[in-house]
A = this chain, B = another copy of it.
């Protein structure tokens, strides 16, 4: 019988994926990468379709993973600023690579299926 390798350390890829999957995490990260610091409400305005709940939860997960930093000003009304943490900046090259792979992949799919590949996609 064939000796099949283990797909080892694939859980560690999952670790990376967990950071960036979630419907809103990539867009949040790109905003923070481009803006240095943003208040909660600025993020809300920048991503109008997101709900407070989702914005909060996604930011909390990113904060737990030390990707973003949360700075609370003790004042009323509250002021909270989010920014990429020093460590979080290390994620940037990966995000950029993924985005460019995605861009090229869209072109590849277009070559394969044509511009209107939405129907085929549905059938899967």
Interface residues of A (CB under 8 A from B): 2, 4-10, 12-17, 19-21, 26-28, 30-31, 34-35, 38, 42, 45-47, 60-61, 64-66, 87, 90-91, 94-95, 97-103, 105-106, 108-109, 112, 120-121, 124
Contacts and interface: CB of A to CB of B under 8 A. Distances in A.
Q: Tell me whether chain A's interface is mostly helix, strand or loop, or mixed.
A: helix
A124 B64 contact: yes
Contact of A13 (B9, B35, B95): B95
B65 A109 contact: yes
Nearest to A93: B97
A4 to B, nearest CB: 5
A35 B6 CA distance: 10
